[in-house]
């Protein structure tokens, strides 16, 4: 399996052969690799949806342990700061699970953003005595969580969760995705290189 | 007896529709549909009855419990056996007395001749006497009731035997709402209701949406009805012992 670094270096080498432009930086390529990875994961998810499955490769799930539960001073709601950006997939598929750090078998239930109002007074508002959460910008807010639950930190599984390009250099990319990612990145630089040539032509003229 | 929770049924359904995780945002929606479906099935099959003993109040009434939907029978228990009271739509709605309290609707002798229904009832302790209850006259030697659902009570008029038995309470056998206090994970679904419930979720999930054709919706509805029908048949089956017992009592099982 390749890492972000090895894949970025490979792409840089290919680009070096294809263009003389020296301004392409490894950091740019790394960013493109991450963007392409998200694109490929999303495309594959929808491919699997055609077979009515929602297949996600477990190697792409990043685990974040001991994420603190805080209290919003204005509303009194409990929330946790998301440790990274999340891929936008149907049914909230970008966040694979949130569970108490010490009880990893029980996952909280993801609910819609308008859950509290829409389900108010209905029989399902207690979620069968389970804790739920919904995403709001860069935080997740909890539903049915009380102080009595005695949960201070949570464990999160986020699809392609990368808080920073440098903090997790060993993020592993499945082998069968490597070619797709390289191709996607080269597509971007291919278009850019052509523009560069066109501009040069105009200048010479 | 093996029973299922709503949570386990919804997770089972999520597996069927190809979900990889119960953290799926569809969970609360399916859970609400499952609860709606359970109500529908419970009312169609009358599979969640309740039987409670209720004291008759001083003004001759029993108050309907919060989860009351409809009654099956109102009876008294004597000698280990239930004796049912009879419905009488002419039983008066208890009126307020001078103090604002509701009066007991007990039928007494000076009104008993009005429609001949209660004729002689108060003087009898013998339900087989032709003069008093007749043959097929609709009389009841135990007593009568009339349901005032809008006011939240059932008026009880005890007569004949029940007077002499000094009855102070009745057994209310009724169709109850499946859960009056909301669902908190403990509710147990009967095994025969699991498949109809999943078929209901499938149908309910699409029936208000425009993206499904009428054919698909209709097929889903028929699928639910078929599975519900099969489930009913499973519950109504009887074994040889029950058949022998029914024949011994000269009663057909009516399957």
Q: What is the pLDDT of residues A105-145, one digit of tens each?
A: 889 999 999 999 999 989 899 999 999 999 999 999 999 99
| A163 part of contact set with chain B, CB < 8 Å | no
Q: What is the 3-state secondary structure (H, E, C) of chain B?
A: CCCEEHHHHHHHHHHHCCCCCCCCCCHHHHHHHHHHHHHHHHHHHCCCEEEEEEECCCCCEEECCCCEEEEEEEEEEECCEEEECEECCCCCCCCECCCCCECCCCCCHHHCCCCCCCCCHHHCCCCCCCCCCCCCCCCCCCEEEEEECCCCEEEEEECHHHHHCCCCEEEEEEEECCCCCCCCCCCEECHHHHHHHHHHHHHHHHCCCCCCCHHHHHHHHHHHHHHHHHHHHHHHCCCHHHHHHHHHCCCCCCC
Q: Which residue of A has its CA nearest to B31?
A: A124
Q: Which residues of B touch A131 (CB under 8 A)?
A: none
The pLDDT assigned to A21 comes to 58
B-chain CB neighbours of A93 within 8 Å are 24
**Distance of alpha carbon B1 from the chain centroid:** 22
Instruction: Specify the pLDDT at position B115.
Output: 38
CB of A124 within 8 Å of any CB in chain B?
Answer: yes
- The residue whose two tokens read 């939907």 is B69
What is the spatial distance between Cα B29 and Cα A111, in angstroms, rounded to a whole number? Answer: 9
Judge whether A165 lies within some domain: no
By C-alpha distance, the chain B residue nearest A125 is B28
Mean pLDDT of the region A41-69: 85
Mean pLDDT, chain A, rounded, equals 84
For residue A104, count other CB atoms closer than 10 A to its CB. 13
**Domain-by-domain residue ranges, chain B?**
4-47+179-247, 49-176
Residues of B in contact with A122 (CB under 8 A): 32, 35
Number of structural domains chain A divides into: 2
- The answer to whether position A167 is within a domain reads no
Chains A, B: CB pairs < 8 Å: 76
Chain B residues touching A92 at Cβ < 8 A: 23-25
Q: Which residues on B lie below 8 Å from A45 (Cβ)?
A: none
Q: Check whether residue A26 and residue A11 sit in a common domain.
A: yes
Q: Which of A97, A112, A128 sits opposite B183 (nearest CB)?
A: A128
Give the ipTM: 0.79
- Same domain, yes or no: A119 and A78: yes
Residue A135 in any domain: the answer is yes
Q: How sure is the predictor about A46, in pLDDT bands with cuts at 50, 70 and 90?
A: confident
- Say if A132 falls within a structural domain: yes
- pLDDT above 70 covers a percentage of chain A that reads 86
Q: Which domain holds residue A7?
A: 2-54+174-204
With contacts defined as CB-CB under 8 Å, which chain B residues touch A125? Answer: 182
Q: Do B23 and A115 touch (CB under 8 A)?
A: no
The pLDDT of residue A195: 53
Shared domain for A119 and A196, answered yes or no, is no
Question: Do A31 and A96 share a domain, yes or no?
Answer: no
Position A169 in a domain: no
B138: left (phi over 0), alpha (psi -120 to 50) or beta: left
Q: What pLDDT sits at residue B142?
A: 79
Distance from CA of B21 to the nearest CA of A (A): 7
CA B97 to chain CA centroid, nearest Å: 32
Task: Please say whether the beta carbons of B174 and B49 come within 8 A.
Answer: yes
For residues A19 and A85, state if they share a domain: no
Which residues of chain B are under the pLDDT cut of 70? 94-139, 160-165, 180-182, 250-255
Res A172 pLDDT > 70: yes
**What SS3 class is residue A59?**
helix
B185 and A130 within 8 Å at the Cβ level: the answer is yes
Check whether residue A69 and residue A117 sit in a common domain.
yes
A42 and A107 belong to one structural domain: no
Residues A99 and A13 in one domain: no
Question: Which chain B residue's Cα is nearest to A123?
Answer: B182
Q: Residues A42, A95: one domain?
A: no
Nearest Cα residue in chain A from B23: A109
Q: From the candidates B5, B21, B36, which should be mutated to test the interface with A, based on the most A CB atoms within 10 A? A: B21
Which residue in chain A is spatially nearest to B11 when comparing CA positions? A109
Q: How confident is the model at residue A100 (pLDDT cuts 50, 70, 90)?
A: very high
Interface of A with B in 32-71 (CB under 8 A): 52-56
Is A44 in the same domain as A68? no
In a domain? residue A164: no
Q: Is B250 in CB contact (< 8 Å) with chain A?
A: no
Report CB contact under 8 Å: A128, B7: yes
Same domain for A72 and A143: yes
CB proximity under 8 Å: B 31-60 to A: 31-32, 35
Residues A129 and A41 in one domain: no
Residues in chain B closer than 8 A to A126 (CB atoms): 182-185
């Amino acid at each position: 399996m390749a890492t972000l670094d090895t894949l970025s270096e490979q792409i840089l080498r290919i680009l070096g052969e294809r263009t003389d432009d020296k301004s392409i930086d490894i950091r740019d390529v790394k960013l493109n690799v991450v963007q392409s990875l998200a694109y490929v994961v999303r495309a594959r998810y929808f491919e699997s949806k055609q077979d009515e499955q929602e297949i996600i490769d477990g190697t792409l799930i990043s685990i974040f342990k001991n994420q603190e539960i805080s209290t919003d001073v204005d509303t009194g709601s409990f929330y946790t700061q998301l440790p990274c950006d999340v891929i936008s997939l149907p049914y909230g598929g970008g966040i694979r699970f949130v569970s108490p750090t010490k009880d990893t078998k029980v996952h909280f239930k993801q609910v819609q953003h308008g859950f509290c109002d829409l389900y108010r007074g209905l029989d399902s508002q207690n979620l069968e005595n389970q804790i739920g959460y919904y995403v709001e910008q860069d935080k997740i807010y909890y539903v049915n969580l009380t102080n009595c639950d005695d949960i201070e930190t949570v464990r999160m599984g986020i699809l392609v969760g990368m808080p920073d390009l440098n903090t997790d250099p060993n993020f592993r990319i499945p082998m069968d995705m490597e070619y797709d990612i390289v191709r996607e990145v080269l597509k971007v630089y291919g278009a850019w290189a052509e523009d560069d040539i066109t501009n040069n032509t105009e200048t010479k003229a | 007896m093996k029973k299922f929770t709503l949570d386990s049924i919804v997770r089972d359904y999520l597996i069927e529709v190809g979900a990889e995780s119960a953290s799926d945002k569809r969970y609360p929606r399916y859970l609400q549909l499952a609860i709606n479906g359970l109500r529908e099935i419970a009312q169609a099959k009358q599979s969640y009855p309740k039987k409670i003993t209720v004291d008759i109040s001083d003004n001759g009434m029993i108050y309907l419990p919060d989860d009351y939907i409809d009654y099956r029978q109102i009876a008294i228990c004597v000698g280990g056996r239930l004796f049912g009271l009879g419905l009488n739509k002419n039983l008066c709605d208890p009126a307020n007395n001078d103090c604002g309290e509701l009066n007991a609707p007990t039928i007494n002798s000076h009104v008993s001749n009005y429609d001949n229904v209660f004729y002689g009832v108060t003087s009898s302790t013998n339900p087989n006497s032709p003069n008093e209850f007749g043959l097929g006259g609709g009389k009841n030697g135990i007593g009568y009731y009339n349901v005032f659902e809008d006011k939240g009570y059932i008026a009880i008029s005890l007569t004949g035997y029940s007077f002499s038995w000094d009855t102070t309470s009745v057994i209310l056998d009724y169709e109850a709402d499946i859960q009056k206090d909301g669902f908190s994970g403990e509710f147990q679904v009967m095994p025969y209701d699991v498949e109809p419930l999943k078929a209901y979720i499938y149908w309910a999930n699409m029936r208000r949406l425009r993206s499904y054709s009428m054919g698909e919706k209709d097929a889903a509805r028929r699928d639910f009805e078929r599975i519900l029908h099969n489930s009913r048949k499973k519950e109504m089956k009887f074994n040889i012992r029950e058949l022998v017992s029914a024949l011994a009592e000269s009663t057909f099982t009516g399957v």
